[in-house]
Amino acid sequence: MSLILGGILGLGVLLTLSPLLWPARHDGRNPVASPLRGIRDDLALAGVGGAPLMAVAAVCVVLAILAGALAHAVFQIPVLTAVAGLLGGALVPLAVRGRATRRRAANRAVWPDVVDHLVASVRAGMSLPDSVAALGELGPASTRSAFAAFEADFRRTGNFLVCLDRLKATLADPVADRILETLRIAREVGGSDVTAVLRGLAGYLREDAALRAEVVARQSWIRNAARLGVAAPWLLLLVLASRHETLVAYDSAAGAALILVGVGVTLVAYRAMIALGRLPEERRWLR
């Protein structure tokens, strides 16, 4: 009996450690194949897709040094200097992520119009490359630059499928991936139902956008409460730091421990509040 229990225990431990011992291999189209792809997608959505990752990292380092130096000049407390340096280094990633999130939310409302333009162009007898290229002039304003770049790329190379891949990388949006993959399949295998498929997709996208807008409006107080809860204690600390006695107290080992614990609690509480109010986002499976 003990031998059986030992075997079951060993099998459980092996299954628990198997993701670390034998990680899954993903192909080039899986969004989890490389952790840098999410960063590149955010940069593309934020409008700085051409920026090298090393340049972004260098800017983060410079901002971290400047924020740390400013905090040290004002407070002269090593723990606050380190915290300020971390916040300065995280400023660029947070700004890029915020801009990408807002851009993705704004684009969610325009994708049905993009599909409608594609359907109208295809029904008018235009080829698929010309239908996509026409969106550079007729499509929504927020996506015209990407489709105009597709038109220039297609006229230069003449390879529709390769240009679609580049357009998907520029748009960096799961909804755009689904639209463009539908066009790819129609281009490769043909079929007369592409307009019906696109119309069905447009209807689904409109319903999804309306539902998400309603839920986001109802849960906006959660994000506002999270931001207020994060900012309030640190604003109070800044007010108290105007007194010399407060700086002396926080310059001790107990004060440093209190600041570190406060940073940890703030991060955990903020992430928990954001997780409660976050809607599931689509992932880019069709890269």
Q: Which tokens is 229 given?
A: 């809860």
Full-model pTM: 0.67
pLDDT tens-digit readout, 170-227:
888 888 888 888 888 887 776 667 788 888 888 888 888 888 877 777 777 777 777 7
Tell me what the pLDDT averaged over the chain comes to: 80
Delimit the domains of the chain by residue range: 27-105, 111-209
pLDDT class of 32 with cuts at 50, 70, 90:
very low
Higher pLDDT, 2 or 117: 117
pLDDT tens-digit readout, 213-265:
777 777 777 777 777 878 888 888 878 777 777 778 777 888 888 888 888 88
Asked if pLDDT for residue 22 goes beyond 70, the answer is no
pLDDT class of 17 with cuts at 50, 70, 90:
low
pLDDT class of 62 with cuts at 50, 70, 90:
very high
Among candidates 38, 89, 37, which has minimal Cα distance to 59? 89
Rounded CA gap, 203 and 206, in Å?
5
